[in-house]
Structure 1
Amino acid sequence: MTFQNIFFNSQAAVVVFFVLSGFVLSPSFFNKSINVRELAGFYVRRFFRIVPLLAVVTALSFFYVKSAFSTWKVPFANSWFDGVLAHDVPLSASILVKCFVGMNSALVPQNWTIACELLVALILPFLVKACTGRLWLAVLTFIIATALSFIAADGGGKSLPVVYAVDFVVGILTFRILQSHDKRYSDVFFYAAVIGLVGARNMLEVLTGQVDLPFNDPLLSLVEAIFAAVIIYGLATKNHMSRLLSVRWLVWLGDISFGIYLVHFLVIVIVARLMTSFLLPYSLPTQTFLMLIPVLAVSLAAAYFAFRFIEIPFNDLGKSLQRRVRTALSRG
């Protein structure tokens, strides 16, 4: 379990994703007024950045779960795997619509993170203004967001946007600090933050005496968000690691990362079924390794295709519509 917590820490990856979102979206409203024109333009562009590719992956998942192919058994699978994109999963019209806009995880298991991203985006402009304004207001915003994350922790899936809103706030505060200081810190702090991020779960389990902290534990999320903020600040100030991460192939991976994130579950269940007869003679570790290669290859190829032919065109469309909305609203 310790090995998985460190090297397959999906919870920490989600926190980094939210902190980074708060950080990179802050310039949209930093030192800018909030009005209907700016808000409408921001919402339009955010929608076209996220939803089009999500809709395509959702449609592909829908056809998969309705197909006979999804009934193929995978003998070496566990109960978790059997529950991922299960054959003919019940889908009412309302659930299907929610799946296409990221508000239900029946067809895209990671949709709960998309829901957090989209719902927090509705108030993010106001969070940016609060966190980049007077210092007391920024501190108060952080305190309120932190308190709400603990209050909402036991509220189930619908409360997750409240639980993780504090991560966006941490990202916005990181941007504020960068704008105020923009000074490099020692690379030692960067690598210490990386170690802290990947080891936060084990550290808190030791300190609190809890075994296997809940995935959405608010204290764990907060601690990981702070470590993520230190990492992001270091990269933004051009530390040693930021130069290493600027090589072309890593930048390319960053460009297609959203597609990889959305498509990888669908790729895993398809590849497992296609490779079942080939994998059966091997042990579970060997099966995992043999599956890893085609899963990575297909995921990368699919994500590149999605980036080139879905994300870029719809991002451009979103920018164009954003300009048109702003122009239309400014005229009256």
Structure 2
Amino acid sequence: MKLDWLQGLRGLAVLGVVLTHGRYFLGGTPNEGLGNLFFLPGAMGVDLFFLISGFIMVYTTQGASGPRDAALFTVKRFARIWPAYAVVTILWIFISRGGMGFFHDADRLRALFKSLAFQPLAPQEAPFFGLVFPLAWTLAFEMYFYIVFGISMLAGRLRWFVLASWMLLTLVLLPATHGGPTLNVQQYLSFRSAYMQLVTNPIIYEFLAGVVIGLIYLNPRIRIRNETVAWQTVVCSAGFVLWWGWSGVGGFHGPAGWGWPLALMVLALAIASKTVALTMPRWLVWTGTVSYSMYLTHFLGQVVLTRWLEQLGLHDHSWNEVFLTLLLAMPLAALSHRLLERGLGEWVRDKLVLLVNRILSSRAVPAPKEVIKMSKIAS
């Protein structure tokens, strides 16, 4: 089944995040309040990414189980996320964190290594955790869930039981021994390990919701028979998300904030897509395709744009600059997608896949066309 509607959602999600950060140009001006009103709810794009990620993990691993499939899943996810992230983090250091001087400080180097390993530097500052590259907090949750999901695949038919059991342990039982559990993603529980603050953070429920939606989507018996009802479901669920976000009722990340209305919307769209064609504009599907690159690079572009405007004496903290940061995000995303995701990322993926197949050579390597097709769906 075509998942253009899902790519379109990705496109909307990343555009929301870009505009959320673009509102910083209006800081300290009479338009700051209006900018927050319009653009701050766009941050819910992160929650939407988490839901979509859980969905895609289910969709792309149908029938997969055992050590080889689990290893391939994990290395492909690693190759897509980490190489591009590492490059952008180094670029961020040179652009915004002092350049070479950063590497002459032992404490900063330790912070860099921890950030590259997605270990929280400031566990009391959940869910952001103070990583060297500010946007990396989302990738820390993403990589954690990839690893847990990959491990659960080792259990074969019991993988959903294993996954649910682990989530029960980390999101309910362990937090109950340290002052939780809660649905507050800014919670700070009294764990000695900084990484446990990430593992027990309730924002992970959004990945789980995506997994459940994926399983429902793949069940052929669950569908809306009437096209009119299907369209009403789509419109009402999307409209509710808009109301929830822009009315100010739900004002932050997490399942108790923006997460649950978004989960209802994704569920509604997933089921409705079996009955009606949810077409998306080609430009929005393209934006969804390069969404990871746009997410990584738009913040770099915003910093560079600010300095360039300052040098020209044009930095006036206006709506024009919000527009420019959105405009700049597109070519930066295209370049990053070509060089980092498809270039460096696919090179790393191919090397890791070959390594997995040498170690676990129980089945033949998928044909190149199949590999490319799977990568496009999962990217």
Q: Do these two structures clear the TM 0.5 threshold for a shared fold by scoring above it?
A: yes
Amino acid across the alignment from 2:235: Y
Relative to structure 1, is the Cα distance of residues 322 and 60 closer, same or farther in structure 2, using a 3 angstrom cutoff? closer
Q: Does 1:100 align with 2:116?
A: yes
- Displacement of 1:190 in angstroms is 1.1
Q: Please give the secondary structure, in 1, of the residue aligned with 2:65.
A: coil
Pick one of 182, 188, 193 that aligns with 1:155. 188
**Equivalent residue in structure 2 for 1:259, among 290, 293, 309:** 293
- Which residue identity does 1:268 align to in structure 2? Q
State the partner residue of 1:226.
263
In 1, distance between residues paired with 2:34 and 2:152?
36
AA paired with 2:77?
R
Counterpart of 1:327, as a letter, is N
Q: 5+ unaligned residues in a row in structure 1: which ranges?
A: 69-87, 206-211, 281-286
Change (3 A) 1:18 1:183: same
Query: In 1, distance between residues paired with 2:105 and 2:43?
Result: 26
Evaluate the alpha carbon distance shift between residue 34 and residue 222 of structure 1 in structure 2; reply closer, same or farther with a 3 A threshold: farther
Matched, 1:288 2:288: no
Deviation at residue 193 of structure 1 after TM alignment: 1.4
Number of aligned residues:
297
Q: Which of 143, 146, 158 in structure 2 is aligned with 1:121?
A: 146
Q: Deviations over 1:97-152 (max 9, x none)?
A: 23334446444211110100011111113567999869999988887777479716
Alpha-carbon distance between aligned partners in 1 of 2:72 and 2:360, rounded to the nearest angstrom: 11
Query: Structure 2: which 5+ residue stretches go unaligned?
Result: 1-32, 121-129, 363-379
**1:169 equivalent in alignment to 2:208:** yes
CA contact (8 A) 1:20 1:232 kept: no
| Corresponding residue of 2:217 | 178
Q: Shift of the alpha carbon at 1:49?
A: 0.2
Q: TM-score, normalised on structure 1?
A: 0.73
Q: 1:308: Cα distance to partner?
A: 1.0
Q: Which residue of 2 aligns with 1:187?
A: 231
Q: Secondary structure at the match of 1:224?
A: helix
Residues 195-210 of structure 1 aligned to structure 2 (within 5 Å):
195-200=239-244, 205=249
SS in 2 for 1:8: helix
Which amino acid in 2 is paired with 1:24?
A: I
- Find the aligned partners of 1:229 and 1:166 in 2 and give their Cα distance: 14
**RMSD in angstroms over aligned alpha carbons?**
3.8
Q: Identity of aligned pairs, percent?
A: 19
Aligned 8 A contact 1:29 1:129 in 2: no
Distance across 1 between alignment mates of 2:258 and 2:168: 15
Structure 1 residue 92: deviation in Å? 1.8
Q: 1:44 to 1:275 in 2, by over 3 A?
A: same
Q: Which residue of 1 aligns with 2:27?
A: none
Residue pair 2:297, 2:336 contacting (<8 A) in 1 also: no
In structure 2, the residue matched to 1:75 is none
Provide the rounded CA distance (Å) in 2 between the counterparts of 1:167 and 1:23: 10
Instruction: Tell me, in whole angstroms, the C-alpha distance in 2 between the residues paired with 1:227 and 1:3.
Output: 27
Cα contact 2:55–2:211 (8 A) shared by 1: yes
Distance 1:143 1:193, change over 3 A: farther
CA shift, 1:66, in A, is 4.5
Distance 1:135-1:106 versus aligned 2 partners, 3 A rule = closer
Q: Where do residues 62-101 of structure 1 align in structure 2 (5 Å cutoff)?
A: 62-67=93-98, 92-101=108-117
How far apart are the structure 2 equivalents of 1:166 and 1:115?
15
Quote the residue 1:279 is aligned against.
Answer: 315
1:308 alignment partner, one of 307, 313, 338: 338
- Cα shift readout 1:35-77 (whole Å, capped 9, x = no counterpart): 2x22222221111101111112111111112459xxxxxxxxx
Q: How does 1:130-141 map to 2 (within 5 A)?
A: none
The one-letter amino acid of 2:111's match is I
Residue identity opposite 1:8 in structure 2 = L
CA contact (8 A) 2:75 2:352 kept: yes
Describe the SS at the equivalent of 2:79: helix
What TM-score does the superposition give when structure 2 sets the normalisation length?
A: 0.65
8 Å contact from structure 1 (residues 102, 115) kept in 2: yes
The one-letter code matched in structure 1 to 2:283 is W
Aligned residue number for residue 10 of structure 2 = none
Name which of 94, 104, 112 aligns with 2:137. 112
